Amino acid sequence: MYRYMLMVRRFNERMLLLQRQGRIAFFTESNGEEACQIGGAWPLNRGDWVYQSYRDAGMCLVRGVTLKALVDQLMGNADDPNKGRQMGAHWGYKESNMVSLASPVGTHIVQAVGTAYAAKFKKDKTVCFTTFGDGATSQGEFHSALNFAGVFKVPVVFFCENNQYAISLPFRRQTASENVAIKAEAYGFEGVLVDGNDVLAVYKATKAAVDKARSGGGPTLIEAVTYRMAGHSSSDDPNRYRSPEETEHWKARDPIKRFRAYMTKKGLLTEQEDRAMQEKVENEIVTVIKESEKVPQPPVTSMFTDVYAEIPWYLKEESDELTREGS
C-alpha cells in the first residue's frame, strides 16, 4: 500500500511538470488523496467493475494497469489503448474492468448501478465500485443512482472522495446536510463516514462494504473525508479561492506522512527502507516517461478503426485517400 501511495504522489508531481513543459496537454492532480485511492481499491476482486473518477490513477495501478499505460494515455501515443482519443486522465482499461469515464460530472454513477443490477440479475458475485467527488453529489445522477440502488438492493459501493472542493466551490456550499454519508439514509441503506487520509481506515470501511455487497446485502455509501492539496486540474489556480492557512492545515494531515509514521512506529519500515523505496519509485517513473516519449503518435488512419467489425466501403475509400495524401 505504501509503495503504491508513493507511486501516485510522484506520478502526480511528474505529470504536472510534463504538462507545464508542454509534453502532455492536460492533467488532474490528486496529491493528498492517495489513501482514498489505494485503500479504496485494495479490497476489490479482479472480476469486479470500477467506474472511477479522473483523479484515481492509483486505483488503476492497484487493479493491475501498468504505469506505462497511464503515461501513454496522457501522451495519447500509439501504445495508448484509446489511441489518443480520450481526454487526458480519462482512464479506461478493459482488461482491468475499469470503465472509461466521461467529462460530465456524475454520469458514471448511474452506469455503475446499471452494471450492478445486471450482476444481481445474473446471480453472480460481482461488485461494482464507483468513485466521485463531493461536487458529483449535487448532480441529479447521484440521487437517481442511490434511489435505484436502494430500491433494488444492487451490489454497488458508492465511494465519495470528499476533497472539500468542486473545482472552486467549497463543500459547505454544496449541501446543507451534515455530511454526504448521511444522505444514504434517505435511500434506505447504510452511509459510512471515514477519515480519507487514513489508508487503513479507508480499507477497513471499503472491505466491509464490498463484502456486504458481494453477499447480497445491498449498497453502501462511503464518504472519505480528504483534501485536494493541488488545484482542480493543470488549468486551475487554487490560491484564488482558498487560503494558504487552510492548505497548511491539511498538509499536516498528509496521508503518506501519516502512514509512514505509523509503520515506523510499528517497526514495519526503517528510514533506510523508505529512502530506497522512494528512489526506486522515482527511477521507475523516469524510465517509463523516457519509454513513452519514444512511442510515435497513432497513425491518422486509426480514426477509421474500432467502430465497425468490417469497415464499410465508403470509409475504406476515405482511409485510402487520406493515406495517399499523407504519402
Sequence ranges of the chain with CATH classification 3.40.50.970:
2-296
Residue 228 annotated among the catalytic residues of the structure: yes
Active-site residue, selected from the candidate residues 241, 253, 260, 262 = 241
Of the residues 55, 63, 108, 232, which is catalytic?
232
pLDDT along the chain (327 residues), means of 10: 98 96 95 98 97 95 97 96 91 95 94 98 96 96 98 98 96 95 98 98 98 98 97 93 95 97 97 98 98 95 87 93 82
pLDDT at 326: 72
d(CA 49, CA 69): 19
| The model's pTM | 0.95
Task: Tell me whether residue 241 is one of the annotated catalytic residues.
Answer: yes
Q: What is the pLDDT of residue 54?
A: 92
What pLDDT does 303 receive? 87
Q: Which fold has domain 2-296?
A: Rossmann fold (3.40.50)
Instruction: Find the radius of gyration of the CA atoms of the chain.
Output: 21
Is the Cβ–Cβ distance between 169 and 88 less than 8 Å? Answer: no
Residue 170 grid cell: 467549497
The β-bridge relationship of strands 220-225 and 169-170 is: unpaired
| Active-site annotation holds for 10 | no
pLDDT at residue 314, rounded to an integer: 95
Residue 10: partners with Cβ closer than 8 Å, 6 or more residues away: 278, 281, 282, 285
Report the C-alpha gap between 29 and 15 in whole angstroms. Answer: 8
Q: For the stretch 71-80, what's the b/e string if a residue is b when 16 or more beta carbons lie within 10 angstroms of its beta carbon?
A: bbbbbbbebb
Query: How do 190-195 and 49-51 pair as beta strands?
Result: unpaired
Active-site residue identified among 63, 108, 214, 228: 228
Q: Which pLDDT value is given to residue 327?
A: 60
Residue 37 near residue 56 (C-beta atoms within 8 A): yes
